Structure 1
Amino acid sequence: MFEAAAIAWHNGKLVEREQAAPSIASHSLHLGVGVFDGIMAYWNSDHYYIHRLEAHLDRLRHGSTQMGLEFSWSNHDLKLGLLSLLDEIPATDYYIRPIVYRAGSYLNFNDTMPVDVTILAVTIARNVDKPLTCHISSFERVSGRAIPVTWKICGTYVNSYLSRRAAEIDGFNDAILLDQEGRITEASAANIFFLQTDTVITPALTPNIFPGITRATLLDIAQALGVEVIERDVCPEELGNFDGAFLAATMMELKPLAAIDSYQYDSSNHLLFLRFLKEFREITQQ
């Protein structure tokens, strides 16, 4: 689980995975100057369903351009590369990780250095039913005004790593991060939704909250089902008012929460969560 396939798509061709590795002197390695995305490829008996591929590739390109990591491959090129990679590896569910970086041995900052694009396929087991526990992290969510969180910059995810690691050390599965004003933003790498009877509440998007593609999918599902979704500021003091909660992200899919700190939830059996889960599974099993 979570092991990358032995081959990768790299700058237009399939190569052994380690041939796409950056130099030990690459400033992308040292400074986290790179942009990535995460895409699910679901193996459904005899074909792959790739969820919102164009939106993921658009996001990758936007972040790369904003970071000065422009590349010449079109979305069509990247799609063909991704499909050619899937054709060459065993058929199963994969988390696809395209990444844009500078592999060359230059520690200095220089926008003229070559940009590499690689697509990895990582095996992943789907386990959407197991509930998670979270705590409110002592690590503050990195400010989107300091480092734009919408670009999926490699270095930004140190914030996610530190908060998740601290949560696991304390016996939890994940962390809920607050912003500079003490508002709930998201988990270490997933958006959060709260359940209150027949209403869903989720933090309103601010520069400190990632506008996830799975989040957008759930908002579409809610509209189709006629479920009210309220996007607003949410504070930790409100956690006792909710009937349940769940996380949503590309790799994680939908995960019910059994607890946030001392607040206990039966999210796995909440009718709203089960409706969202059913609809999401139907989408990904096309």
Structure 2
Amino acid sequence: MTTLVHRDGQPVTIAELAPLAFAGYAHFTAMQVRGGRIRGLDLHLERLRSASAELFGRTLPDDRVRSFLRTALEAGPADVSLTATVYVASGQFTADETAEPEILIRTGPPASGPAGPLALAAVEYERFLPAVKHVGEVAKTYLMRRAVRDGFDDAAFVDRRGRISEATIWNLAFWDGDAVVWPDAAMLAGTMMGIVRRQLDRLGVPQRVQEIAPADVPAMAGAAVMNSWTPGVAVHRIGSAPVPEAPRFLDLLHQAHQAEPLTEP
């Protein structure tokens, strides 16, 4: 039997269906590819391995993933945004533990993120399985849309203990004037965050991890968000608390990113 899919009364195309295909039980990693090469490739591979082990109880070999990445990149321009989504054919709402993970790779135009500075609403929210970059998180888009409606650019999350953790699609970093301060809370450790942290270490920039509550924000000398698009976009307000401009802090984040070598998959 042939399965027909329609969208707004018309047969759906593969291009229209692909973004929706694995919107339930799957995980992914997103990256910017420049000149056919990737920064932090080891972090992306580790993310896919650990998330597959958590969700499916089995993983795809790294060499197989790299082969699929190469194939996808050979089919397009040298500079792209790339998303690799891992899923099982049995999909969601099943307990099938025998299915082997498969991978969907999608490429699109390169991106560099917003210019900033951004104002973030402070909202109480904790992600399910925060250490996994999983799909189908309606709350993140809902909270971002609500924040924009209320006059902000995006939203930052505060957990039930009153700690700032992350933003909707971003990690957060703070600056105390001398050191980079990372929030201590359950969150997704982003690949950009991993790149920046290890390169800041190599550059000799002090870093520390500490609990940060909204009441602590006014004492900070700077703040930024980061994700696969960019190592740093300035944040000038979280909730009602203003955050000073910190150009040296932003420069250090971008310098750390540039210090990470580009790797062929």
**Common topology (TM > 0.5):** yes
Q: Does 1:119 align with 2:108?
A: no
Amino acid at match of 2:55: M
The change in CA–CA distance for 1:104 and 1:275 in structure 2 (over 3 A counts) is: closer
Match of 2:68 among 74, 81, 85: 81
Output the CA distance in 1 between the equivalents of 2:174 and 2:104.
36
Partner deviation per Cα, 1:176-198 (whole Å, 9 max, x = no partner):
10111111111112211111212
Q: Which residue of 2 aligns with 1:55?
A: 43
Q: Does 1:136 align with 2:122?
A: yes
Cα RMSD for the two superposed structures: 2.7
SS at match of 2:256: helix
Output the CA distance in 2 between the equivalents of 1:34 and 1:235.
32
How far residue 76 of structure 1 moved from its aligned partner, in angstroms, is: 1.4
The change in CA–CA distance for 1:19 and 1:191 in structure 2 (over 3 A counts) is: closer
The change in CA–CA distance for 1:22 and 1:255 in structure 2 (over 3 A counts) is: closer
How far residue 129 of structure 1 moved from its aligned partner, in angstroms, is: 4.1
Identity of aligned residues (%): 22
Q: How does 1:1-286 map to 2 (within 5 A)?
A: 29=23, 32-42=24-34, 47-68=35-56, 70=58, 73-92=60-79, 94-103=80-89, 108-113=94-99, 115-127=101-113, 129-137=115-123, 139-142=124-127, 147-155=128-136, 157-204=137-184, 206=185, 208-267=186-245, 269-283=246-260
SS at match of 2:96: coil
The change in CA–CA distance for 1:252 and 1:161 in structure 2 (over 3 A counts) is: farther
Output the CA distance in 2 between the equivalents of 1:105 and 1:235.
38
Output the CA distance in 2 between the equivalents of 1:225 and 1:148.
32
Structure 2, unaligned stretches of length 5 or more? 1-13
Structure 1, unaligned stretches of length 5 or more? 1-15
Check conservation: 2:27, 2:86, Cα contact below 8 A.
Answer: yes
Amino acid at match of 2:58: E
Partner deviation per Cα, 1:220-242 (whole Å, 9 max, x = no partner):
23222322212110111011111
